[in-house]
């Protein structure tokens, strides 16, 4: 397969409600849709999921789009791809820039599946036709608002609830939720907002029978996570720290975590993600599929990944309407009995809604590849 044409659409989708993390507040999901066309005219899609500012990891949407346009695509056009994992090999000399790589890697997976006449789910050897999913709830203004939000999501059928925390919106919020929902599969995500000075507080959170606590400390810190894990029973889950298989091995060897939140964008694509999932399964670390408020294309990739046999814990993969009123794909992902169906159509198995794509596109770039 040879890539002959590329196009980037910068899309801004309004969120149904603002999403607040320890980093800040987001009311619009801005991303790039990457469209790749091969020599047969087959079209594949990937989503570039980075944020507008480098507060989650180092990349931003515009730095990643730049790397895609001026560095990765010029390399890609020179080669004949034989299988999806060739993309990872081709870009292995490029340090970092995982989100940029992941967008291309994803679009190539879609293309390979379409050329072979199979669904991405089949290409990834998945068996599950439906997957149980969870919801990630942003930081709320009050404990009452948080309880009411959790209540609504539980009523909709979500089987696992993650609550974003930050200093001063943590212990009492989680305690209230735990009192109200004693048996709920509950977890907290700190997005690196704490330091070792707050270990006493984290030990109090340890009393709440959480399924895990995600990324309490800084985004490159394996050592203090390992120190904390020795002092608490609640499994630590690493998110921001894990950019590659190498990082997953490091987390395991240093005992920095017992679980990994795996995001395709954060680890540079599906090939790397699958290697990490296989490693986790092999060593007995829990692995689950995280999210970055993806639109329909990115969500389809997450669902296919989470349908693989290494995944035994509901991911941050909620129904479309939890995020958006309008999405760029024709059929919304819906929640039924706490589960989402795995698309079985050709490739990623979702169809673009051209009207919505035009409506929410704020910039379009044709990338000439010759």
**Site mask for Mg ion (CB under 5 A), range 179-198, x = bound:** ----------x---------
Cβ burial of 244 (10 Å; 0-12, 13-18, 19+) is middle
Q: Does 190 bind ligand OSB (CB under 6 A)?
A: no
Helix (H) or strand (E) holding 238, with range, is: strand 236-238
**Closer to Mg ion by Cβ: residue 35 or 47:** 47
Cβ burial of 213 (10 Å; 0-12, 13-18, 19+) is buried
Determine if residue 83 is labeled as part of a ligand binding site: no
Exposure string for 107-130, b = 16+ CB within 10 A, e = fewer: bbbbbbbbeeeebbbbbbebebee
Q: What distance lies between CA 351 and its chain's CA centroid?
A: 20
Residue 56 binds: one of ligand OSB, Mg ion, none (C-beta under 5 to 8 A by kind):
ligand OSB
Of 114, 162, 164, 166, catalytic: 164
Q: State the nearest-atom distance from the C-beta of 102 to ligand OSB, in Å.
A: 14
**Closer to ligand OSB by Cβ: residue 157 or 369:** 157
Q: State the nearest-atom distance from the C-beta of 369 to ligand OSB, in Å.
A: 31
Q: Which of residues 249-278 bind ligand OSB (CB under 6 A)?
A: 261
The residue to which tokens 């695509």 are assigned: 73
Distance between CA atoms of 202 and 232, rounded to whole angstroms?
A: 8
Q: State the nearest-atom distance from the C-beta of 339 to ligand OSB, in Å.
A: 16
Q: Does 56 bind ligand OSB (CB under 6 A)?
A: yes
CB 283, CB 252: distance < 8 Å: yes
Q: Which stretch binds ligand OSB (CB under 6 A): 63-71, 88-96, 274-282, 284-292?
A: 284-292
268, 290, 296, 314: which one binds ligand OSB (CB under 6 A)? 290
E strands present in 149-207: 161-164, 186-189
Q: Which of residues 202-261 bind Mg ion (CB under 5 A)?
A: 214, 239
Instruction: State the CB neighbour count (10 A cutoff) for residue 284.
Output: 8
Q: Does 292 bind ligand OSB (CB under 6 A)?
A: yes
Q: Does 216 bind ligand OSB (CB under 6 A)?
A: no
3 state SS of 263: coil
Is 164 an active-site residue?
yes
Total residue count of the chain as it appears in this document: 370
Write out 46-61 in H/E/C secondary structure: EEECCECCCCCCCCEH
The residue to which tokens 């986790």 are assigned: 280
**Closer to ligand OSB by Cβ: residue 86 or 98:** 98
Is 203 an active-site residue?
no
291, 296, 314, 349: which one binds ligand OSB (CB under 6 A)? 291
Residues belonging to the active site: 164, 263
Q: Name the site residues for Mg ion (rule: CB under 5 A).
A: 189, 214, 239
């Amino acid at each position: 397969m040879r890539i002959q044409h590329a196009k980037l659409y910068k899309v801004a989708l309004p969120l149904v409600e603002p999403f607040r993390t320890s980093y800040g507040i987001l009311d619009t999901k801005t991303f790039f849709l990457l469209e790749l066309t091969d020599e047969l005219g087959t079209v594949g899609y990937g989503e570039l999921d980075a944020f507008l500012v480098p507060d989650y990891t180092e990349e931003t949407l515009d730095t990643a789009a730049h790397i895609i346009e001026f560095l990765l695509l010029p390399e890609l056009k020179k080669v004949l791809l034989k299988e999806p994992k060739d993309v990872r090999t081709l870009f292995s000399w490029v340090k970092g820039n995982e989100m940029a790589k992941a967008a291309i890697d994803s679009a190539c997976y879609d293309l390979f599946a379409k050329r072979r006449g199979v669904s991405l789910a089949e290409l990834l050897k998945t068996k599950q036709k439906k997957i149980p999913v969870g919801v990630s709830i942003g930081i709320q203004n009050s404990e009452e608002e948080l309880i009411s939000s959790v209540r609504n999501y539980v009523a909709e059928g979500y089987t696992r609830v993650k609550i974003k925390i930050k200093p001063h919106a943590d212990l009492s919020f989680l305690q209230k939720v735990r009192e109200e929902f004693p048996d709920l599969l509950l977890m907290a995500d700190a997005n690196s907002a704490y330091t070792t000075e707050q270990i006493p507080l984290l030990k109090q959170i340890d009393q709440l029978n959480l399924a895990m606590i995600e990324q309490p400390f800084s985004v490159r810190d394996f050592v203090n996570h390992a120190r904390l894990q020795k002092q608490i029973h609640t499994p630590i889950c690493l998110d921001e720290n894990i950019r590659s298989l190498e990082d997953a091995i490091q987390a395991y060897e240093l005992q920095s975590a017992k679980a990994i939140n795996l995001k395709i964008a954060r680890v540079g694509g599906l090939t790397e993600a699958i290697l990490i999932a296989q490693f986790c399964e092999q060593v007995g670390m829990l692995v689950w599929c995280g999210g970055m408020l993806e639109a329909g294309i990115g969500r389809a990739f997450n669902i296919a990944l989470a349908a693989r046999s290494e995944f035994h814990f509901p991911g941050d993969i909620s129904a479309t309407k939890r995020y958006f009123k309008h999405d760029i794909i024709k059929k919304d992902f819906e929640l039924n009995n706490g589960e989402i169906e795995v698309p079985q159509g050709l490739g990623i198995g979702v169809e673009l809604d051209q009207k919505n794509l035009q409506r929410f596109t704020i910039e379009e770039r044709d990338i000439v590849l010759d």
